[in-house]
Structure 1
C-alpha cells in the first residue's frame, strides 16, 4: 500500500475571497498542506478567461468580432495585433497576476502571524504558461510572434511577486494544460471555443522546452511545482487520457531537463479510472527524491469513498503520493467546496 501523505490545492476554489479561502483551507486541511493558494477569486475564477480583456487594453491590439462573447462579464473574443503594428515592439498592459498575488500575500501573512495558518506554510501562486494564453486567445497566424511578447509580460508579473514576497515563503506553480491539448492532438469541443493548434513543429520538444524555460524564472529557495492538466471547462476534460503515459513522460522529461529542484508535480485522475491500466505508466515515473507527487483523484461526486478506490489502484504503481483534485475547483458548486476539502483529509495523513 502506498504512503498517502499530504494534500495539494491546485489553484482555484469557489469561495468568495482570498481570506475565506485561507481560513477554510487552514481549518479543514491544516497540517495536510505545505502551501496554500488564494483560491483565484474575482476575475480569475475561470483560469485564464480574464486575460483576453487584459491584453486588449494595450494600444495596438484589437478584438476579433463585433459583439462581445461574455462569461460572467469577461469578454472571450480572440485578440489580434492591428495591421501596421510591430508585434515585437508591444509592451502589454498589466496582466493582473502580480496585483492579485501581492494583495493576497498581505492577507496570508497576517493570518499566518495570527496563528490561523500554520508556521512554515508557504503562499502558493499559480500562473498559466505563456503558451496557454497565446493558444487560447491570439489568432493563429500571430501566435509565434506574439508569444515572446506575452511571455515577457508574464515573467515581469512574476518578477514583481518575487520582489515582494520573501523567497522562503513562496511557491510558484505552472498550470500546464493547453500543452496536453497539443500533445493529444485534441482541443475543446466547439462549445468551448474550438481546437487549440500549436505553432511549433516538434510538439514534445516545444512543450518541454517551454516548461524548462519557465523553471529558470523561479529562483531557489522559491518552491517550484507543475500542475499537469487536461482542462476543466464546464467541469469536463477537453480530452480523456487513455492512461498516464503522456503525463508520466512529461514529468520525466521535466525531471531530466529542469536544472533546479522541483518540489511537486500534479497529475489528474478521471473519476472513472480506478483500474491498473490507467496507472500502469507510473511504474516508469522517475522524479527526483525532493519532488512530491500529487494525484488528482479526489472528486466532489464521490468524495472519500471514490478516492479510496482510485488510491488502491494507484498504490500498485506509485509508492508514495499525496492527494488533490484533478483540476481547480473554482467552477464547482459552492456548497461542495468544504466537503471536497474534507475528503482530502479523510484519505491522507498530515505531513
Structure 2
C-alpha cells in the first residue's frame, strides 16, 4: 500500500494574536507556502467563538437575556436569550450579528498584505462561521429554539450574503464550524441540562447533517467551502472524548451526501492522547470526493512536531488518501507565546512527510 502524503497545513480559525494583521503576517511568514487559506484569527469580540452572540441578539427588539445579573467572560455577557412575552418569532428583525462587519474589515487587511507580497498571491481569505445550530443550542432557551431557528438562520445567511457581495469570490473561502452537532450526536452529559437535551428535532443524525449541508449550499461554486468538525475546546478540553473517529466519519459522509455542492476541505480533530491506530481505523470508510482536501487535527502545542509524528504514523495505517495537518481546534485561547511554536510544528510535520 502506498503511503499517503502530507500535503500542507490548515488553520482552523482562532489564533491568539490581538489583530488580524498580526495574525496574517505571522501565519504567512511561518506557513505561507504550506497554506491555501489564511483566517483573521477571530480577533476582537470573536475571541471566544460564539460567546458574543447573546449580546448581539439582545440588541434585537423582542429578544432578551435571561436573568438580572450578567454572566461575564471578559466583556461578554453569556446570559442566554429568550423570545419576550407576547412576541412572535416571525416578527423579529435580528440585529447585526457582527460576522460580515468583521470579515469585510479583515479582508481589507488581507488584500493590502497580498498586494504588498506578504501573503502569497494564490492564497484565499478564510472566513469561519458557526453553524446556526451552535448559537441556538448554546444560548437560546430550549422552548424558543425551534421558533427562533429560521429567523436566526436567515440573519446569519444575510451576513454571508453581504460577505459574498463584497469580497471577490476567487479570493474567498468559507468554513462552517460544527461543534454542538457532536454534543448532540454523542448524547453526553454536556448535551443535557437537567435531563433536557440541546436538540429540538427528531433523528439527530439527519437533523444535524442536513442542517450543515444547507449552510454549505448557500456558498456559490466559485467560493471555496469547507467544514471544521469539533468536539469542543473550552479550557482546551473536549466535552467528551471520542472513542474513535467513527462518528466523525459517519457525519462527514452524511454531509457530503446531502450537500449539492463540492466540499473543498474537511477538517477532523484528533485528541492528543490518540496515537493508536484504532482511533483512525474508521477513517478507512471516509467517503469524500477525491477533490475534497482532508486535514487531520493532530498537531498539539503540548507535544509539538514529535507528538504529531506519532499520530501521523498511526493515521497512515488507515488513511490512504493524501491529507494535511492542523490543530484539532482553533488556538485563540492558548497561552501567550505558543502560536509561533505551533506554526513551526505544522511546518516541520508538513515538510518532513
Retained in 2: the 8 A contact 1:230–1:238?
A: yes
Q: How many angstroms apart in 2 are the aligned matches of 1:132 and 1:120?
A: 32
Retained in 2: the 8 A contact 1:31–1:350?
A: no
Retained in 2: the 8 A contact 1:298–1:344?
A: yes
Task: Evaluate the alpha carbon distance shift between residue 193 and residue 113 of structure 1 in structure 2; reply closer, same or farther with a 3 A threshold.
Answer: farther
Q: Which runs of 4+ in 1 moved over 4 A?
A: 192-196
Q: Which residue of 2 aligns with 1:185?
A: 187
1:42-94 Cα offsets, whole Å, 9 max, x none, are 11000000000000011111111110000011000001011001111111100
Task: Evaluate the alpha carbon distance shift between residue 296 and residue 342 of structure 1 in structure 2; reply closer, same or farther with a 3 A threshold.
Answer: same
Q: How many angstroms apart in 1 are the aligned matches of 2:204 and 2:144?
A: 18
Retained in 2: the 8 A contact 1:32–1:350?
A: no
Retained in 1: the 8 A contact 2:183–2:191?
A: no
Q: How many angstroms apart in 1 are the aligned matches of 2:311 and 2:138?
A: 32
Instruction: Compute the TM-score of the two structures, normalised by the length of structure 1.
Output: 0.97
Higher mean C-alpha displacement, 256-265 vs 172-181: 256-265
Q: Which one of 58, 61, 64 corresponds to residue 60 of structure 2?
A: 58
Query: What RMSD in Å do the two structures reach over aligned CA positions?
Result: 1.7
Q: How many angstroms apart in 2 are the aligned matches of 1:45 and 1:194?
A: 30
In structure 2, the residue corresponding to 1:158 is in which secondary structure?
helix
Q: How many angstroms apart in 1 are the aligned matches of 2:94 and 2:191?
A: 30
Q: How many angstroms apart in 2 are the aligned matches of 1:196 and 1:300?
A: 33
In structure 1, the residue corresponding to 2:338 is in which secondary structure?
helix
Q: How many angstroms apart in 2 are the aligned matches of 1:64 and 1:239?
A: 27
Q: Which one of 17, 20, 38 corresponds to residue 18 of structure 1?
A: 20
Q: Which residue of 2 aligns with 1:156?
A: 158
How far does residue 215 in structure 1 lie from its aligned partner after superposition? Answer: 1.2
Structure 2 unaligned segments of length 5 or more: list them. none
Q: Which residue of 2 aligns with 1:173?
A: 175
Q: Which residue of 2 aligns with 1:215?
A: 216
Q: How many angstroms apart in 2 are the aligned matches of 1:43 and 1:224?
A: 24
1:301-326 Cα offsets, whole Å, 9 max, x none, are 00000000000000111121100000
How far does residue 256 in structure 1 lie from its aligned partner after superposition? Answer: 1.6
Q: Which residue of 2 aligns with 1:298?
A: 299
Q: Which residue of 1 aligns with 2:79?
A: 77
Aligned ranges for residues 246-261 of structure 1 at < 5 Å?
246-261=247-262
Retained in 1: the 8 A contact 2:65–2:82?
A: yes
In structure 1, the residue corresponding to 2:351 is in which secondary structure?
coil
Aligned ranges for residues 1-351 of structure 1 at < 5 Å?
1-188=3-190, 197-319=198-320, 320-349=322-351
Q: How many angstroms apart in 2 are the aligned matches of 1:187 and 1:250?
A: 20
Task: Evaluate the alpha carbon distance shift between residue 134 and residue 115 of structure 1 in structure 2; reply closer, same or farther with a 3 A threshold.
Answer: same
Q: How many angstroms apart in 2 are the aligned matches of 1:226 and 1:158?
A: 15
How far does residue 187 in structure 1 lie from its aligned partner after superposition? Answer: 4.8
Matched length: 350
How far does residue 142 in structure 1 lie from its aligned partner after superposition? Answer: 0.6
In structure 1, the residue corresponding to 2:143 is in which secondary structure?
helix
In structure 2, the residue corresponding to 1:273 is in which secondary structure?
coil
Retained in 2: the 8 A contact 1:2–1:316?
A: no
Q: How many angstroms apart in 1 are the aligned matches of 2:124 and 2:188?
A: 35
Q: How many angstroms apart in 2 are the aligned matches of 1:177 and 1:316?
A: 27
How far does residue 196 in structure 1 lie from its aligned partner after superposition? Answer: 5.2
Q: How many angstroms apart in 2 are the aligned matches of 1:210 and 1:341?
A: 33
Q: How many angstroms apart in 1 are the aligned matches of 2:225 and 2:37?
A: 11
1:240-295 Cα offsets, whole Å, 9 max, x none, are 00000000011111222211111000000000000011000001111101100000
Instruction: Compute the TM-score of the two structures, normalised by the length of structure 2.
Output: 0.96
Retained in 1: the 8 A contact 2:38–2:126?
A: yes
